[in-house]
């Protein structure tokens, strides 16, 4: 094909995509009931008539066209006609939500902080910003990452002592990703965004057996194998996305991660954030050593009894100071501080177990939920069924699309992932996940438009969820699947759009998952006559046992059920509250960061059997200094408790 004909073909495809984008905008404003069909046509155009560079070009063009205030006002005027006030689109009076709010060193007083959902905020008496790292800019190749940041340790010690001398409490902030008030404090707050200097292979004071890699046994796909893993030391405020960038420099990667990399590593650790895979534990299970500053300004390096630090080599001295970092190697202590929910002190660094960079091959299949449910309940070995792949998760439509003309069964999407080298099913695998979702997530105003679409015609939500599941279906037998490095596969790539969704999450034992799903479906059905809907499917993700006292996985292998909706969809927040109430009564374990109801001592004691042990260690490491109203309510003595004899 000649150069001129190639250019003509590219221009033709670009025009085709532009025409479909224009028709979608017209449909959105003037004929919203036909949006699903037009979305399907845009999806086809992006998939079959557009290159990646063309998609990026269109995203930039649409963002430029919709950036002027008068354009946004025009869109508002068209969309908000005959729309209830609480469902109106607001494109001009605020900025798009973002995970990169930056605090500056001189901002010590009169600061205001809020979590990303803005349902909890603090106006602290004092706002500390320790550390000498860089943020939001971050250079993974910087030589400063190769040294341990003792200056930050001393800075944090000083801030803790200031708080205690003033009789104040102090809490550390990560990315504000939690829905719960777990980080909130009206006394002193510590912003950890600059605590990201140290990011290096862990060699100093490490036992010889771990210093240059060590062998571990894994079981994925019901096959036992040996892998070589390594130790990596990172500062407590490092964002996961930045940590990944540094790891890749060394040819390493995290063993697993959640669906997003926006959190700080300590925030993910402190709430037991997880990914999927019954053979893979949550973030706390990857931590081999934890350095924190507790009450009295005392610094500790805490590990398991057979920890990675060599006590003979370790002296604990902080250069230029008479202070030391005490080494504690004890299983029970380590399991207590791992998931500290901010109450054990301020984490200044940790050592993670990582592995060489690996590729993953992902397949997604739309299935009938009743068929998957039958396989789970009749399988002679449920663990083997769940462990047939390195990763296994299910997205379930909370509703049956009764308006469908043919198939009226409940749909779900089954996602599996395996090491690329362990499967031969990917010769034509794509290097990009669903084109439409990546396209929409790049458009600045899409997050604010999404709830309007759902509110405009809430009874269409069951069908819209089905359409979305079919749209991201992708597997080898259809000629593709999705293959890339673990970073590209595990990070769901929703960009800023993620901040317009919100979720709650609960742990359920493997043998009670089907009953929990039935409870969720009944509760959602009961809300339909009131036109209250969740605007997204809910997920089942299976996670390996973790011995940390306050991990949701403490009692054994767990299925984490995540209930998702879109911010601003009328009735969805109310429905999530009802679902949480029903699931807690059912016996589900709430996620420390993803919950919308108040927590009580009784609920925590039931959900976390080792809470009584955790409280003992919290008194030693954190005391009252690192509490806040949320945790004080949980730690309050029960009025019905039987006094010790």
In a domain, 104, yes or no: no
Successive 10-residue mean pLDDT values, the chain, 645 residues: 54 64 71 66 67 74 82 84 86 58 77 87 94 92 94 97 97 92 94 96 98 97 97 97 96 92 93 96 98 98 98 96 97 98 98 97 95 96 97 97 87 96 69 63 74 90 90 80 90 60 94 98 97 96 98 98 93 97 98 96 96 97 97 80 44
Question: 529 lies in a domain?
Answer: yes
Residue 27 lies in a domain: yes
Of 43, 72, 87, the residue that ends a domain is 87
Give the containing element (helix H, strand E) for 558. strand 558-566
Please say which residue of 598, 619, 637 terminates a domain: 598
Count Cα neighbours of 61 within 13 Å in the Cβ-side half-sphere.
Answer: 11
- Has residue 74 been placed in a domain? yes
- Residue 566 phi, psi (nearest 5): -115, 130
Asked whether residue 299 is assigned to any structural domain, the reply reads: no
Whole-model pTM?
A: 0.91
pLDDT at 645: 39
Domain stops at, among 72, 87, 102: 87
In a domain, 210, yes or no: no
SS3 579: helix
**Domain limits for position 397:** 359-598
Instruction: Check: CB of residue 148 under 8 Å from CB of residue 316.
Output: no
- Report the number of distinct structural domains present in the chain: 2
Residue 145 lies in a domain: no
Which element (helix H / strand E) includes 504? strand 501-509
Give the pLDDT confidence score for residue 643 in this predicted structure: 45
What torsion, rounded to 10 degrees, do the Cα atoms 178, 183, 185, 189 define? -120
Judge whether 333 lies within some domain.
no
Q: What does the H/E/C string look like for 182-241?
A: CCCCCCEEEECCCCCCCEEECCCCECHHHHCCEEEEEEECCEEEEEEEEEEEEECCCEHH
CATH (domain of 462):
3.40.462.10
Q: How high is the pLDDT of residue 95?
A: 52
């Amino acid at each position: 094909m000649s150069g001129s004909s190639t250019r003509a073909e590219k221009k033709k495809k670009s025009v085709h995509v532009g025409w479909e984008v224009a028709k979608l905008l017209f449909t959105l404003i003037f004929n919203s009931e036909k949006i699903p069909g037009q979305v399907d046509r845009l999806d086809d155009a992006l998939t079959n008539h557009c290159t990646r560079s063309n998609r990026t070009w269109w995203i930039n063009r649409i963002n430029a066209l919709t950036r002027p205030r008068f354009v946004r006002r025009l869109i508002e005027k068209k969309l908000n006609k005959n729309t209830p006030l609480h469902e109106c689109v607001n494109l001009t009076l605020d900025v798009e939500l973002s995970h990169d709010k930056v605090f500056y060193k001189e901002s010590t007083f009169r600061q205001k902080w809020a979590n990303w959902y803005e349902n909890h905020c603090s106006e602290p008496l004092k706002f500390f910003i320790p550390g000498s790292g860089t943020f939001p800019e971050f250079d993974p190749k910087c030589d400063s990452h190769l040294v341990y940041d003792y200056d930050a340790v001393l800075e944090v010690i000083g801030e803790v002592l200031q708080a205690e001398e003033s009789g104040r409490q102090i809490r550390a902030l990560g990315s504000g990703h939690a829905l719960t008030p777990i980080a909130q404090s009206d006394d002193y707050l510590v912003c950890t965004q600059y605590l990201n200097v140290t990011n290096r292979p862990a060699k100093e004071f490490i036992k010889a057996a771990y210093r240059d890699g060590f062998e571990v046994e894994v079981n994925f796909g019901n096959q036992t194998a040996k892998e070589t893993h390594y130790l990596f030391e990172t500062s407590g405020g490092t964002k996961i996305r930045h940590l990944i960038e540094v790891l890749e420099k060394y040819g390493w990667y995290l063993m697993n991660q959640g669906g997003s990399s926006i959190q700080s590593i300590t925030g993910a650790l402190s709430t037991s954030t997880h990914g999927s895979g019954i053979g893979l534990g949550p973030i706390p299970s990857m931590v081999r050593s934890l350095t924190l500053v507790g009450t009295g300004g005392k610094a500790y390096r805490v590990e398991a009894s057979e920890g990675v630090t060599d006590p003979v080599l370790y002296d604990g001295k902080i250069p230029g100071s008479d202070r030391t970092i005490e080494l504690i190697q004890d299983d029970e202590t380590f399991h207590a501080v791992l998931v500290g929910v901010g109450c054990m002190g301020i984490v200044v660094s940790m050592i993670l177990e990582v592995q060489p960079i690996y590729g993953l091959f992902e397949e997604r299949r739309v299935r009938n939920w009743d068929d998957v449910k039958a396989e789970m309940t009749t399988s002679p070995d449920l663990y083997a069924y769940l462990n047939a792949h390195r990763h296994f998760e299910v997205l379930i439509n909370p509703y049956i699309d009764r308006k469908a003309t043919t198939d009226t069964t409940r749909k779900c999407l089954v996602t599996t992932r395996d090491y690329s080298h362990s499967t031969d099913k990917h010769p034509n695998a794509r290097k990009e996940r669903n084109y439409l979702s990546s396209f929409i997530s790049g458009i600045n105003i899409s997050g604010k438009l999404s709830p309007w679409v759902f509110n405009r015609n809430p009874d269409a939500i069951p069908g819209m969820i089905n359409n979305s599941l079919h749209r991201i279906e992708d597997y080898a037998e259809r000629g593709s699947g999705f293959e890339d490095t673990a970073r590209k596969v595990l990070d769901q790539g929703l960009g800023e759009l993620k901040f317009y969704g919100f979720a709650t999450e609960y742990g359920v034992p493997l043998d009670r998952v089907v009953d929990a799903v039935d409870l969720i479906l009944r509760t959602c059905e009961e809300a339909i006559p009131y036109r209250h809907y969740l605007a997204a499917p809910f997920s089942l993700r299976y996670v390996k046992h973790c011995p940390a006292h306050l991990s949701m996985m403490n009692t054994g292998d767990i299925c984490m059920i995540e209930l998702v909706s879109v911010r601003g969809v009328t009735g969805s927040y109310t429905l999530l509250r009802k679902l949480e109430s029903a699931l807690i009564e059912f016996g589900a374990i709430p996620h420390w960061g993803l919950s919308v109801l108040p927590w009580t001592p009784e609920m925590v004691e039931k959900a976390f059997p080792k809470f009584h042990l955790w409280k003992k260690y919290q008194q030693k490491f954190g005391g009252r200094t690192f509490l806040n109203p949320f945790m004080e309510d949980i730690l309050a003595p029960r009025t019905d408790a039987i006094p010790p004899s």
